[in-house]
Structure 1
Amino acid sequence: MEGSLKKLLFFGTFSIIMKITQQTGSMYYIHKYILITHLEMSWTEAQSYCRAEYGDLATIFDEQDFTRINDMTSDLDRPFWIGLYDDINSWKWSLVGEDFYADVGDDYRKWQEDQPDNVGADERCVSMTQNGFWRDNSCTVVKMPLICFTVDEEDQYVLVTEQKSWFEAQSYCRQHHTDLVSVRSLAENQEVSSRLQTGQEAWIGMHRDSWEWSDGSSSLFRKWREDQPDNENNTQACVGMQKKGWSDSKCANKLNILCQEITEVTPVPAVQRRTTVKVKLLTKADLTDPTIRHNVLQQFEAALHSQGFTDVKLLWRTLKEEPQPTESDACGEELTKNLG
C-alpha cells in the first residue's frame, strides 16, 4: 500500500484511529480502529458486537498500527480484546482429498485423557502412542518417529524410526511415500498403532492452524509480551492487548473492546468534455505543414494554461472547404450579370 493518513479522535467512552491507505490505482480504504471503554464483554461477545456495529474485532497489521493504538490507550490501565485467537478445534489431516474421506469421513478422534492440552500455547501437531491414543505436541520442538501412508502398496502403513519434527516428517512422507498417515476409523487406528513397539510414539498426519484473526486476515504481525503466550492452565485461547504488548487470556474474561471498520472507496471519475471551436486564422504560413500546426497548438495551450485551464488537450481538425454562394432568383435559376 502506498501513502497513509492517520487521525486520532476522542468521543468520551470510545476513541477512534482513522487510517487511509492508497492502493495501486484510484481505489483506497478507510481503516478505523474504535476503542470501546464503556462495555466489558467476553471475546465471543466482543466479536459479535464489533461485527454488528462496525465490521469485526481489530486486526493489527504492522508496527505503525500497534504504536498508534498503544498511544491511544496509554492512559487505559486495563486490557482490551483484539481479533487474534487460537482456534483449538481446527484439526485437519495433512493428506487432503474428498474421495479419500468420502465413505468414512475425517472426524474420527482417539485423544488420550486430558488431551489435547496445548501446553505453552505451542502444541498443534498430533502423535500416536503404542496403545493407540493421541496427544498434541509442538510441531517444531519435539522430534520422534513417524508413520507414513503409501496409497499404492499392499502394506500402506510405513513406520520410520528416524527422529524428526512434525514438519520434517510431513516432508519426508510426501517425498518417499504419499503423506503422513490419516486415521479415519477405530479399525485403522488399531492397524496403525500395531506398527509401534512398547513405549514408542510417532507422528500422524493430524495438525491445526496457528493463531488466526477474527476477520480472516493473513497478517503475521505479533507483539507478545514477555513469556506470552503461555496458555496458563490450558484455558487461554484469546488475545488481549495492554501496555505495549499482547497476552493470551481466557475467552470468557470480560474486557474492553477494540473494533475495526474498513470502508472501500472508489472515487467518481471526473467528467471529460469535448468542445469543438472554429478558428479562422489570417496568416501567410502553410497550415498544412505538421510542424507549423504543432507550434500553433502549443501557443493555444500556453494561453489556456495561463487562464487556469490545465487539463486540456488540443487536437487539430481541418474542416471541409465550404462551397461559395451564387446569386439565384426566386425560382432557383442562376443569374448572370451583364458586365458589359
Structure 2
Amino acid sequence: MYVFDNNVYPSACQFKDGLAKAFPHLVRSGLYFSICDHVYLFLSACVTFFTEFHSHCSCLSHQYHFVNINLTWTDAQAYCRENYTDLATIDNMEEMKRLTESVDTGYTGEAWIGLKKGTSWRWQWSSGEGDTGYTNWETAATYNQNNGYNCVGMKDNGRWNNIDCSTQMKTGYFICYTVLTGKRTVVRLTVRTDGEIKDPEFSSHLLMQLQEKLISAGMSENTTLSWRTQPDGQIFHLKD
C-alpha cells in the first residue's frame, strides 16, 4: 500500500541503460506513470513534449451469467437479485466484450439487461449506479424513442434495444452479474508523447509496460489490467 502526504512530480525523465522509460510518481489522487516517449521507440534522450493525454486503467469488476428462463424484465431482475447480484450492468467496452463472450452459442434474439428508464425518464441501471455512461444502442433513434418501451434487451450482436418491460422474451433469456471478489483499483494515467496516441499497438504496449511496472512494485501477477474506454470509444483524451 502506498502512503503519501504531499504531491511529488519529477521534473526530469529517469533512464536505465540510456533508454527512455516510464517512471512512476505518487500524488494525492493516485499513482501516476509519465511516459518519456513512445513506449516502443527507444531513444537516448527525452523528446519535446507538446501533447498530453490522460486515461484510466482498471480491473474488470463483473462476472456475467446467461440465464435461459422466460421472464418479464421485473421478474428477471428479482431472479438475478435472489441468485446473483442484479441484472447485468455494463460499465465499459471491456465488460461488454466479456458479456458477449459469456453468451450461449445457441442464443438468438434478445436478452434482458439491467437498463431501464427511471422516474426522471433517464436510462438507469437496475443496480442503482445512476445514469449510464457507456452505451451500445442499435441506433440513436432507439435511445431517443418515447414509446413506452422502458426496458432494454441486448441482441445477439451485442446491440441494445428498448422493449416493453412486461414482455416475456420469446427466446427466454436474460443476463445477471455478480461482483468479482478482490480489490478493484483505478489508476489514472498521464501520457506525454509525440507518437500516435490512437494506435492500438501504442495502447497495447503501454498497458503491458504498466503491468510490468506494477508487478515489480508488488502487484500480484494474477491481476488483470484493462483500459477503461470512454463513451466516445476512445481510450485517451487530450487534457485541457
Give the TM-score, by structure 1 length: 0.33
Larger radius of gyration: 1
Give the TM-score, by structure 2 length: 0.45
Q: Considering Cα pairs closer than 8 Å and 6+ residues apart, tell me whether 1 or 2 has the greater RCO.
A: 2
